[in-house]
Amino acid sequence: AEVSIENWEYSYRDPVVSHGFFSDLVRQSMAVDLSDLIAPAPKRKRRSVPSFKVESSIVAPVDKSAVLEMVQQLEHNSEIAVSSLQSDEEKKQKALEVAHDEDVSTWIGAIADCFTSTSTRCLPLVELVEQIHSSTTLESDRKMLLVTTWLAVLSGDFELEQREDFY
């Protein structure tokens, strides 16, 4: 039985060949010369450096008194502009008025109310603006509706989803 098993195992073993036995049958590298198939690169034209000719110059010496007169004129113009501007207190008051006009919590509440009343889970930003703000809004206010809605969405606890190129 052992002899039969050894004969059987020996008959199914891979043959042992010398190291260079397949060297004539296997290609290990290949080189192809494609230089005949490539068109030569077109010759580049070198740009010639233009020679500058001084025909007439706009630079000229200026009298010191003319420069001083120009500086005085500029200072006079700036004094007129400064006197026509508002005082610092007026500027501060206007800035505070703008800051108090923005009620972000009201905007966020309007968006939340919109989602609860329509029972939708997602809306494109433009449609959200249309549903929140009425059509009776003044034209000057319409310019800021998209901005205020976007700020409210970012400030609120809303889930954003990006579709295409915008949220």
DSSP code per residue over 62-117? --HHHHHHHHHHHHHHHHHHHHHSPPHHHHHHHHHHHHHH--HHHHHHHHHHHHHH
* CA pair distance 102, 144, nearest whole angstrom: 11
The answer to whether the beta carbons of residues 128 and 108 sit under 8 Å apart is no
* CA pair distance 18, 164, nearest whole angstrom: 63
* CA pair distance 93, 82, nearest whole angstrom: 18
Mean per-residue pLDDT, 19-44? 82
Q: What pLDDT was estimated at residue 143? A: 64
Residue matched to tokens 């004129």: 73
* CA pair distance 141, 134, nearest whole angstrom: 11
* CA pair distance 62, 44, nearest whole angstrom: 47
Q: What pLDDT was estimated at residue 2? A: 92
Mean predicted lDDT score pLDDT of the chain: 77
pLDDT tens readout for residues 99-149: 666 777 888 888 888 888 887 788 888 888 888 876 555 665 666 788 888
| pLDDT above 90: percentage of residues in the chain | 4
* CA pair distance 148, 133, nearest whole angstrom: 11
Mean per-residue pLDDT, 60-72? 86
Q: What pLDDT was estimated at residue 24? A: 80
Domain positions in the chain: 97-155
* CA pair distance 123, 131, nearest whole angstrom: 10
